[in-house]
Amino acid sequence: MEPNDFRAEDGNWWRQAVVYQVYPRSFKDSNADGLGDVRGITSKVEYLATLGVDAIWLSPFYPSALADGGYDVADYRDVDPKLGTLADFDSMISECHQRGIRVFVDIVPNHSSDLHSWFQEALVSEPGSAARDRYIFRDGKGENGDLPPNDWPSHFGPSAWTRTTTSSGVPGQWYLHLFAPEQPDFNWDNTEVIEDFKHTIRFWSDRGVDGFRIDVAHALTKDMSEPYPKIRDFDVKRIPVDGSHHLFDRDQTLEIYRGWREIFNTYNPPRVAVAEASVPTRRRPRYSSPDTLGQAFNFDLMVMPWSAAKFKKSIDLNLDLAAKSGSSSTWVLSNHDVVRHASRYGLPSRTNYDTWLMSDGTSPAPDGELGLARARAATMLILALPGSTYLYQGEELGLPEVANLPAEALQDPMWMQYGMTRKGRDGCRVPLPWNQQGSSFGFGDNGAHLPQPDWFSDYSVEIQDGVMGSTLELYRSAIALRKKLQAAEDLTWVKSPRNTVHFSRPGGWHSFTNFGAKPVTLPAGTIILASAPVVDGKLPGNSTAWVTTA
Ligand code: GLC
């Protein structure tokens, strides 16, 4: 670390940070190949600084065949040549740090790409060899081993097993992949695997990375002993709370993170991490405690219907859980895996999004205006809460989901793995519109890897920049005000009418959300920001206002 580095000033910076997720392939293309890249990110650091975010989290930018949008990593310690070089990465991070923005990278420890040199080596090695032991290979069942070792599903399709073929074309062993066949699972009982990930964490920390987002943090160690249990699906509700699931949330996985924590703490400031852990809610603190990863995603609001009572209950529970582990809570409404919240909030709460996407977003038809109003209100609400807010690129523009991508454009492995019955997640990954016009609306000079609809123009940065009341300006104002107002991580509930949520933070900062449809009188004080125009002291339905009484 350089002397006088702003990063050394506050070891607790992450506790109430605004972290902006960049999905690199879809952020900004600098070399006209239709794919976003690292230089593209560098060219937009000024934009990120103006937005006011404390940090960015980059989804994987490592060498990858993009079988799962980069979550199939072929080399953990390099940049995909399609996206740039390590030198580009160094310039990007230095540019971010100069503007006071920290950088998180994504670590994908459950599985690699099938193109990773270790997996390629395993494929040409004998069953039982050291090379195969880094992954999870098993003999098949049935007379000739032509049945998979068990009938576990994968997250992306009907089977978690794929059979290998020897170099002479003879069918061989099977390997486990909880995601796509191009994503073989590591064997976390193997010490080489353990050591290699420590190496990776040091590698990026030495390059100045401030934090890590840990992908599928609840998987990693597995009990692969027979008899295999029946596993029908990966519904988190079916994960027992005693750590006895064969694939998820096992105690040994936390041991791995304790090892990582020792490494994080050798840096100044200590490197931070946030876990993507799909575990029963009350097990979450194990991942966010100071001796493991330090923070964990709370996706509860992402799946919560638009209801004052439900939001309130969830906020209480999560503040409580975070306090239990000594961490701060996280708040998330959108990311690269879910339908964008501006669309979700315009749909009935029981909508099955897979079915909705299969109807090209027509059945049911979303109410765009309502969706955007609620999205803006929900964002202001979470920005007023104690803890960290994770934003997903494009939500600051109020971007809806692109629900009608043509079949031939789809890239998500789910589409093929589910026999073209589930479109998957491409609709939230369409490249950003920077300009009103021009090739790919300013994303790049030569089209975009996922087609952008014409209406993207209306959501472009250019059209919203400097325009009072635009969603972009609302985000900028809210983030700037939050920075000024937030102090201790305390929240006090204030009694309020039905269908509303009202709380205050130290220093007289009040947040008031009207979940209902009718205007409601705002509490006394000075209105400092509102997601919709306040008329005669009344806040319209589906809106949030911040009021100070200081
Ligand atoms: C995480 C990522 C998702 C990816 C999966 C497998 O859930 O967020 O995008 O497909 O892990 O790596």
Same domain, 77 and 154: no
User: Is residue 282 one of the residues assigned to a domain?
Assistant: yes
- Please state which of the ranges 3-12, 216-225, 463-472 shows the lowest mean pLDDT: 3-12
Tokens 């993507």 belong to which residue? 276
Same domain, 299 and 283: yes
- Which structure tokens are listed for 2? 């350089």
The total domain count for the chain is: 3
Cα 458 to Cα 336: distance, rounded to the nearest angstrom: 21
- SS (HEC) of 287-304: HHCCCCCCCECCCHHHHC
| Each residue's pLDDT tens digit, 242-294 | 999 999 999 999 999 999 999 999 999 999 999 999 999 989 999 999 999 99
Greatest distance between any 2 Cα atoms in the chain:
80
User: Is residue 454 one of the residues assigned to a domain?
Assistant: yes
- Asked if residue 71 has its Cβ within 6 Å of ligand 1, the reply is yes
Q: CA dihedral in degrees (240, 246, 251, 253; nearest 10)?
A: -130
Does position 392 have pLDDT exceeding 70, yes or no? yes
- Residue-averaged pLDDT of the chain: 96
Cα 121 to Cα 126: distance, rounded to the nearest angstrom: 10
Provide the pLDDT for residue 298.
Answer: 96
Cα 466 to Cα 480: distance, rounded to the nearest angstrom: 15
Provide the pLDDT for residue 550.
Answer: 81
| Domain end (from 176, 200, 218) | 176
User: Is residue 437 one of the residues assigned to a domain?
Assistant: yes
| Domain end (from 176, 203, 218) | 176
| Domain end (from 429, 464, 499) | 464
Q: What is the pLDDT confidence band of residue 5, given thresholds at 50, 70 and 90?
A: low
CATH code at 43? 3.20.20.80
User: Is residue 473 one of the residues assigned to a domain?
Assistant: no
Rounded to the nearest angstrom, the distance between the alpha carbon of 71 and the centre of ligand 1 is: 6
User: Is residue 535 one of the residues assigned to a domain?
Assistant: yes
pLDDT, average across residues 227-245 = 93
What percentage of the chain has pLDDT greater than the value 90? 96
The single-letter DSSP state of residue 265 is T
Same domain, 415 and 337: yes
- Which structure tokens are listed for 181? 């066949």
Q: In angstroms, what CA-CA distances link 248 with 68, 288, 290?
A: 21, 16, 21
Rounded to the nearest angstrom, the distance between the alpha carbon of 536 and the centre of ligand 1 is: 47
User: Is residue 476 one of the residues assigned to a domain?
Assistant: no
| Each residue's pLDDT tens digit, 105-158 | 999 999 999 999 999 999 999 999 999 999 999 999 999 999 999 999 999 989
- Asked if residue 180 has its Cβ within 6 Å of ligand 1, the reply is no
User: Is residue 185 one of the residues assigned to a domain?
Assistant: no
For residue 110, which atom of ligand 1 is closest to its CA? Answer: 12
Same domain, 136 and 284: no
- Please state which of the ranges 96-100, 164-168, 429-433 shows the lowest mean pLDDT: 164-168
CA angle 419, 415, 331 (to 5 degrees): 135
Q: What is the pLDDT confidence band of residue 10, given thresholds at 50, 70 and 90?
A: confident
Rounded to the nearest angstrom, the distance between the alpha carbon of 105 and the centre of ligand 1 is: 14
* Contacts (Cβ under 8 Å, ≥6 apart) of 155: 178, 179, 234
Provide the pLDDT for residue 537.
Answer: 94
Same domain, 105 and 138: no
CATH code at 537? 2.60.40.1180
pLDDT, average across residues 61-82 = 98
Same domain, 130 and 257: no
Same domain, 447 and 510: no
User: Is residue 181 one of the residues assigned to a domain?
Assistant: no
Same domain, 121 and 107: no
| The model's pTM | 0.97
- Asked if residue 68 has its Cβ within 6 Å of ligand 1, the reply is yes
Provide the pLDDT for residue 8.
Answer: 66
Q: What is the pLDDT confidence band of residue 11, given thresholds at 50, 70 and 90?
A: confident
Cα 351 to Cα 453: distance, rounded to the nearest angstrom: 23
CATH code at 149? 3.90.400.10
Q: What is the pLDDT confidence band of residue 71, given thresholds at 50, 70 and 90?
A: very high
Provide the pLDDT for residue 12.
Answer: 93
* Contacts (Cβ under 8 Å, ≥6 apart) of 491: 315, 319, 385, 386, 503, 504, 505
Does position 4 have pLDDT exceeding 60, yes or no? no
Domain that holds residue 538: 489-548
- Going along 381-490, which residue ranges are E strands? 388-392
Same domain, 163 and 301: no
